[in-house]
Amino acid sequence: MALVSINPATGERLAEVELWPDEKLEAALAEVAQATSSWATSDLAARCRLLRQAADVLLESRDELALMITQEMGKLYREALAEVEKCALVCNYYADYGPSFLADEVIESSAGKSFVAHQPLGTVLAVMPWNFPLWQVFRFAAPALMAGNTGVLKHASNVPQCAQAIEVVFVRAGFPQGVFKTLMISASQVAGVIEDARVHAVTLTGSEYAGRQVAACAGANLKKTVLELGGSDAFIVLEDADLDAAVAAGVSSRFLNAGQSCVAAKRFIVVEAIADEFMAKFRAAVEALEVGDPMKEETTLAPMARVDLRDELHLQVQTSLSQGAVAVTGCAPVSGAGAYYLPSILDRVEPGMVAYHDELFGPVAIVIRAKDEADAVRIANDSPYGLGGSIWSRDESRGEQVARQIDTGAVFVNEFVKSDPRLPFGGVKNSGYGRELSRHGMMEFVNAKTIWVK
């Protein structure tokens, strides 16, 4: 069996990578285990230097890595360039702040001396998705490696070239052999890796179903997990919002990466007083998007990552229409080669419809009309997911007060949700648990060890 790389824009078969047999997986885990203890006690300054060198390698290889991302999962080339640059940013961030995050925390007690030491757990298995094939990995790897953990990666099956390229970055940066390893394995082999005593923790970004499977296996083996799962982010537009700013941000958020982002604006909850005006502006902006070759500068909407994902999205749209949603624009695949779907808006979405309750992972915006602010908050929280959300109001104080009422891991006021190395990122409810990025993300995979000295 092989992992197959297919260009979503053309359907062209790019590469095949053979899946590892069990003996090759065993050799890789043995190599990582051999590196784990020495890396855990390595000099912090050396780790910082290596992370900065990884950032340099990323920037030096920016063009070729971005091309690989675009060809393998379809995103706009300029978005792929930005993704590579963000990976370099997170490496430099932890090189700059990692030592202070890991410093002993002195706590006054009845002891002569008492403090908390932050020590690595060991080897962290990362099960990662295809939608941001480099960023998702580096946002786990930079803090985990800085903290003294080793890492093993099981990447999505449709981005095998990106998976291999990530390990090459760390090798070229000079990291010791075995500190980071990409495992070219199938989903059926993941449970065995989690169960392996040489693996000490697991982080997963992916579907709710995958999260439940990984959490169950890790729990049975008493291993720490961090899960970043699906999201159906609310984008609340209040009657005093700057509609032009809200529309521009809403289009960027919903259609970035062809709508294939966990924290994309998915549910546009618009108060009735300005709903028609918002919809007129929003429709015009969405219909102005240019579907096409992701390598071309004029293209503003790329293909989806796979044809089967596009077909699943279309089924959700068709079902919602049959349940009474209104097709404002788009709502159909693009004929011809590639996994293209028209930029789409579903209006008048209500409870009981697929689009109201499920995550739509693609270039489809759903609009839910609210009576007022209180109703908008109610609708926003009427979701099994709790990853992110945004509030639009000219009154910043009002926006902040509404933000405090939304049950999610992040809420942005007058800006769309985005990840930032300086801020913790993660969700609640069915969007998972734990945090990535910032000091909080690094602390997920360290042992906060109390040391008491008489």
- The catalytic residues are 228, 262
- R_g of the chain computed on alpha carbons: 23
Q: Is 313 helix (H, G, I), strand (E, B) or coil?
A: helix
Phi, psi angles (nearest 5°) of residue 177:
-55, 130
Distance CA 65, CA 240 (A): 43
Distance CA 205, CA 208 (A): 9
Closest CA to 267 of 329, 357, 342: 357
Distance CA 16, CA 5 (A): 6
Distance CA 283, CA 335 (A): 22
Helix (H) or strand (E) holding 364: strand 364-370
Phi, psi angles (nearest 5°) of residue 55:
-60, -40
What are the distances in angstroms from CA 392 to CA 237, 239, 282, 395? 5, 9, 14, 9
Distance CA 236, CA 269 (A): 5
Distance CA 191, CA 223 (A): 12
Helix residue spans in 323-417 (DSSP H)? 354-357, 373-381, 396-403
